Structure 1
Amino acid sequence: MDNTSLSTILPFIPVISTTCSLWFAWDQYEFLTLFRKPDLRLLSNQLLPSYFTTFFNRGVPRVLGLLSATVFSCGAILRYSPGTILRDRGAHPWYTAGLLFALGHLIWAPFIIPPIRALRGDAKGKNVAELERWLYIHVWRSLTVDLAAWVCCIVATHKLLFE
């Protein structure tokens, strides 16, 4: 692949990775809210520790992979774009913000880890309550840093390629 091909594809990587991050976050919410149904609450309290442990172990590499793709692609664009093209087209602050918002996903870790530990360790009859706590934080994280990273990457790519 030559430099022209790479420079044409690279700006789309943060758009794709942030889109996938949001999609995955939405899927997590959709699938896990099923455990909150009142008629399933007793069964959910029993199943959640095993389910959530498997869910979390499989999900973390995906989330970190998507965040890494966003951070490294935004970083590469910021570092290796020729001359002042990013500043001239107004894309530089948007790529910087996209990178920082993607990293911002990790800032939520101190808030999200306690319910994860509780769920994985079996909070006995409180598993659904811990899941609800996790979902609450998950939604706020998704609507703040994940959504912001997505918007920033789309605006940055639009400015770079189409303005």
Structure 2
Amino acid sequence: MATTTILGLTLTLSPPALTALRLAPLLGSTGSLTHAYMEWLTTTSFLHTPRTTSTLTLTMTQGKPSPSATLVPNKDQIAAAKAIVIPIWFVNFFHTGLYSVIGLNGITTYTSLANILLFPTGLGLGKSWYVVGLAAAVGHYFFVPGVMGSVARLFDICVKGQAVEGEGRGDAVDCVREWVGVHKVRMLTVDLCAWVCFAVGVVRVLTP
């Protein structure tokens, strides 16, 4: 049994509950990293032309692609379609994705704080990994200023229904490309670092 005191109240965790608390930051950071990867996967789809002649496409179409599949796409039509679809999609995506990101990162942050501050006994050599993992999880928010410009412009484009002027980077595709650039760095640094740290920390704490 693990016991701690909070504001004069005694809190006791059973061994299974304590194990769940030890695992929670790893589960939260795993969710965050997976979420970040899926965000990258979906948003980068807008930055490439359809791969109509790939092996996968040929397989999905039973090896019988239409004659038009080998034609050069009409770039103007594709650009026009993206200009309409991207802002609408991104605004809807951001309205839901924002809260899941905050929720997952909140699980990671608060449960790691609980481990470090309330139930540090038994962490042993794993404590330092939990501390670094916590710092990395909090570091996720330091990238917010880097993406807010592109996010705001996409919202503006969606509301106004037209491209926003601004140093030549106002169109929807450029906004997504800018967002993806910052997001990729964030995913491969603080998000990945948090996951690795908590994975190592959990192994050190729970391995006899």
The two structures share one fold, judged by TM-score above 0.5:
yes
Segments of structure 2 that go 5 or more residues without pairing to the other structure are 1-11, 50-72, 164-169
Secondary structure at the aligned position of 1:10 is classed as helix
Q: In the alignment, which residue of structure 2 is the partner of 1:75?
A: 113
- The CA distance in 2 between the partners of 1:58 and 1:134, in whole Å, is 17
Matched residues, number:
160
Q: In the alignment, which residue of structure 2 is the partner of 1:94?
A: 129
Residues 115-141 of structure 1: CA deviation (Å, up to 9, x unaligned): 100111116171001100000000000
Q: In the alignment, which residue of structure 2 is the partner of 1:141?
A: 186
- The CA distance in 1 between the partners of 2:128 and 2:110, in whole Å, is 16
Q: Does structure 1 conserve the Cα–Cα contact (< 8 Å) formed by 2:120 and 2:127?
A: no
- The CA distance in 1 between the partners of 2:102 and 2:120, in whole Å, is 29
CA drift at 1:74: 0.4
CA drift at 1:28: 0.8
The answer to whether residue 153 in structure 2 is matched with residue 118 in structure 1 is: yes
Secondary structure at the aligned position of 2:196 is classed as helix
- The CA distance in 2 between the partners of 1:137 and 1:113, in whole Å, is 10
Q: Does structure 2 conserve the Cα–Cα contact (< 8 Å) formed by 1:104 and 1:145?
A: yes
Larger RCO, structure (CA 8 Å, separation 6 or more): 1
TM-score scaled to structure 2, two decimals?
0.72
- The CA distance in 1 between the partners of 2:40 and 2:79, in whole Å, is 17
Distance 1:135 1:82, change over 3 A: closer
Residues 33-89 of structure 1: CA deviation (Å, up to 9, x unaligned): 111124533311111111111100100100000110000110011122253x32xx3
Q: Does structure 2 conserve the Cα–Cα contact (< 8 Å) formed by 1:35 and 1:41?
A: no
Which of 94, 97, 107 aligns to 2:142? It is 107
- Give the AA of the match of 1:22: L
Q: In the alignment, which residue of structure 2 is the partner of 1:160?
A: 205
CA drift at 1:2: 5.3
More helix by share: 1
- The CA distance in 1 between the partners of 2:149 and 2:197, in whole Å, is 30
Q: Does structure 2 conserve the Cα–Cα contact (< 8 Å) formed by 1:36 and 1:44?
A: no
- The CA distance in 2 between the partners of 1:2 and 1:153, in whole Å, is 20
The alignment-based identity, stated in percent, is 29
Secondary structure at the aligned position of 2:125 is classed as coil
Segments of structure 1 that go 5 or more residues without pairing to the other structure are none
The answer to whether residue 91 in structure 2 is matched with residue 53 in structure 1 is: yes
Q: In the alignment, which residue of structure 1 is the partner of 2:26?
A: 15
What root-mean-square deviation, in Å, do the aligned CA atoms of Structure 1 and Structure 2 show?
A: 1.7
CA drift at 1:149: 0.5
- The CA distance in 2 between the partners of 1:49 and 1:120, in whole Å, is 7
TM-score scaled to structure 1, two decimals?
0.91
Secondary structure at the aligned position of 2:173 is classed as helix
